[in-house]
Chain A
Amino acid sequence: MSDKKKKVKKKKMGKLQRNRVWMSWTFVLIPTLFIITFYFYPMIQAFWISLHTGTGVNLDFTGLDNYRRLFNDQAFITAVKNTFIFFIFQIPLMIILALFFSVLLNQKTLHFKGVFRTLVFLPAITSLVAYSLIFRYLFSNDGVVNQILMFFNFIDDPIFWLGDPFWAKVLIIIAITWRWTGYNMIFYLSALQNIDPGIYEAARIDGASAVQQFFKITIPMLRPVILFTSITSTIGTLQLFDEPMNLTGGGPGNATTTISQYIYNLSFEYTPNFGYASAVSYSIVVFVLILSAIQFRVGRERK
């Protein structure tokens, strides 16, 4: 009797097992379908459109003309330049600051650590549009920042933060750094907490200075996290949109226009040219892939 029961159970399990496999595939295929529909399908479509020219629905096949046009398009070249200036200056500045703050705020004996951490992190809860507008008012010609700088005699005349091509770029860099330093610091802090304090003790006994400890222990231990944050920051910076749109309006002139903003303008502000806008879109994909690959290389090699 017990044998019979076992057999029945086994048969049932077989059916159940199949049922489970079927269910688990359903579980994973629902999001896959969405991701294919809203990420991969549009990207493939974009490539097809990028081989066409014309406005709205009337598209003519032109092959790689749109891609050739990129190299002669002054507005595109300026947008790429601006985006890379933000990338080259802002990301290292932010990562160094974030690392520095995280090491300072990780000291066991420091008082009010929580308060300091919260204050540095707080910008990360603001919406990009909101903080961009606040910064626009703070940095206006007769705004607070100019007043403070003049009060302490750092400058004699107000800086035209929004009207000068150089200072407008500096302003964007200051703004992004304010918004994201605390955010990145949290990643470093959580990684620092996983480092065995014994390593530092051993180093101290060996007579390593704080600076040596930082470069010889902290940085190597944090390398994976630094790599992670620098790649996510790179992807973010290459797509920079909300800040130039709301803080500087891309100006003065084209001084702070980014690639994203240029795509937006090509598609929704000027006479829509989806074919060319798609070609510009692909340039971002290419930049992201190249820069991520380089960072991956650099981040891994020195192990």
Chain B
Amino acid sequence: MKNEKRTKRIATYVFLILVSLIFFFPFYFLIVSISNPSIDITRGKLLPGSHLIENFKTMIETTPISLSIWNSALVSVGQTIISIFVSSLAGYGFEVHPSRGKEVVYNIILLSMMIPFAALMVPLFRLFGTISGIAPALGIDTLFGVVLPYVSTAFLVFFFRQNTKMFPKELIEAGRIDGLSELGIFVKIFIPTMKTTYAAAGIVTFMNSWNNYLWPLIVLQSPENYTVPLVISAMGSGYTIDYGSVMIAIFITTIPTAIIFFVLQKYFVQGMVGSLK
């Protein structure tokens, strides 16, 4: 009996180690490949090489990767700050001041979750064509154009409303007694109290924005405006691909999300799962 349990235990560990190896393998391949020349990467060499500096140089010299990192940073940080501010404002409004009219509005917002982005790409592109005619700085081929459709999303409004349920309403009364305006209460009391919710929402939004591919691909046209995924995709699909520089570009541009994940793991999981509660 005891023996049987022990073999079961060992089998579990062996299985989990095997699974972990499979799941980690692409990362391992990425890490060793950044120091290998193109030819070794296509041959599937699994040991590190001595080509790291050359790969880095080729990447810097032949691709607009550094500019794209800057663009992606602007887009992701901008989108994160604006969208979590606007969406949390709404979540707060819906939960703290509920009314029948607002429930109708809330349901309309939720309905937009059923619209897949793939169905939106054509009409959105046309809409931005119109916007370009009125305000070129917000339209096609601008970083504002990348952010604008995501200023508020049903998911974030929903997420903030759900989490506002845990916000102690006494604090609002306290704020009112102190003579704070509704916006004052929101900025000075709500935001500081809900820090973890903001962290969670911020992480998820940042990651989505940093990794977003389809919409930037449609709205951006000149390479100097490209975000990271566009540059990497272009690097990987040319006729002469330098695999070493593609790998190092992927490696460098995955670092921000990896850091966020490892440092803020707790909030990260909360941001994913929080909306379910």
**Which A residues have a C-beta under 8 Å from some C-beta of B?**
16, 19-21, 23-32, 34-43, 45-46, 49, 101, 104-105, 110, 115-116, 119-120, 122-123, 125-131, 133-138, 140, 142-147, 178, 182-183, 186-187, 190-191, 225, 228, 235, 238-239, 241-242, 245-246, 249, 259-260, 263-264, 267-268, 274, 277-278, 281-282, 284-285, 288-289, 292
Q: Are A242 and B24 closer than 8 Å at their CB atoms? A: no
Query: Quick one: closest A residue to B259, CB to CB?
Result: A125
Q: Are B118 and A259 closer than 8 Å at their CB atoms? A: yes
Q: Are A30 and B86 closer than 8 Å at their CB atoms? A: yes
CA distance A43 to B105 in the complex (A): 18
A281 contact set on B, CB distance < 8 A? 118-123
A288 to chain B, nearest CB (A): 5
Task: Produce 1/0 per residue, B30-53, CB < 8 A to A.
Answer: 100100000001111010000000
CA distance A40 to B125 in the complex (A): 14
Q: Are A128 and B211 closer than 8 Å at their CB atoms? A: yes
Q: Are B237 and A120 closer than 8 Å at their CB atoms? A: no
A32-B105, A119-B24, A147-B44 known; 10 new pairs, CB 8 Å cut-off, are: A26-B93, A31-B157, A38-B127, A49-B122, A49-B126, A120-B20, A128-B229, A129-B233, A142-B44, A144-B29
A143 contact set on B, CB distance < 8 A? 42, 44
B250 contact set on A, CB distance < 8 A? 130, 133-134
Say which residue of B120, B123, B182 sits within 8 Å of A23 (CB atoms).
B182
Known: A32-B109, A129-B232, A238-B118. A249 touches B237 (CB 8 A): yes
Say which residue of B106, B108, B214, B243 sits within 8 Å of A242 (CB atoms).
B214
Q: Are B214 and A278 closer than 8 Å at their CB atoms? A: no
CA distance A136 to B122 in the complex (A): 28
Chain B contact residue count (CB 8 A cutoff): 85
Known: A39-B120, A45-B123, A131-B26. A292 touches B114 (CB 8 A): yes
Say which residue of B41, B126, B260 sits within 8 Å of A274 (CB atoms).
B126
A242 contact set on B, CB distance < 8 A? 213-214, 229
A142 contact set on B, CB distance < 8 A? 42-44
Q: Is B210 an interface residue, CB under 8 A from the partner?
A: yes
CA distance A23 to B119 in the complex (A): 34
Q: Is B19 an interface residue, CB under 8 A from the partner?
A: yes
Q: Are A238 and B116 closer than 8 Å at their CB atoms? A: yes
CA distance A147 to B125 in the complex (A): 44
Q: Are A110 and B272 closer than 8 Å at their CB atoms? A: no
Q: Are B119 and A46 closer than 8 Å at their CB atoms? A: yes
Query: Quick one: closest A residue to B46, CB to CB?
Result: A144
A237 to chain B, nearest CB (A): 10
Q: Are B126 and A45 closer than 8 Å at their CB atoms? A: yes
Known: A39-B115, A134-B29, A135-B26. A30 touches B152 (CB 8 A): yes
Q: Are A284 and B152 closer than 8 Å at their CB atoms? A: no
CA distance A127 to B210 in the complex (A): 8
Say which residue of A16, A123, A259, A278 sits within 8 Å of B122 (CB atoms).
A278
Residues from 222 to 265 in B contacting A, C-beta threshold 8 Å: 228-229, 232-233, 236-237, 243, 246-247, 250, 253-254, 257-258, 260-261
B27 contact set on A, CB distance < 8 A? 122
Q: Are B122 and A274 closer than 8 Å at their CB atoms? A: yes
Q: Are A19 and B90 closer than 8 Å at their CB atoms? A: no
CA distance A129 to B202 in the complex (A): 22
Known: A32-B105, A119-B24. A129 touches B44 (CB 8 A): no
B218 contact set on A, CB distance < 8 A? 264, 268
CA distance A249 to B238 in the complex (A): 12
Q: Is B16 an interface residue, CB under 8 A from the partner?
A: yes
CA distance A235 to B253 in the complex (A): 27
B52 to chain A, nearest CB (A): 17
A106 to chain B, nearest CB (A): 12
B261 contact set on A, CB distance < 8 A? 122, 125
Q: Are B122 and A267 closer than 8 Å at their CB atoms? A: yes
Q: Is B273 an interface residue, CB under 8 A from the partner?
A: yes
Q: Are A41 and B86 closer than 8 Å at their CB atoms? A: no
Of B15, B120, B232, chain A has the most CB atoms within 10 Å of the CB of: B120
Say which residue of A19, A45, A133 sits within 8 Å of B127 (CB atoms).
A45
Say which residue of A110, A135, A260, A282 sits within 8 Å of B12 (CB atoms).
A110
CA distance A19 to B118 in the complex (A): 41
A84 to chain B, nearest CB (A): 15
Q: Are A42 and B253 closer than 8 Å at their CB atoms? A: no
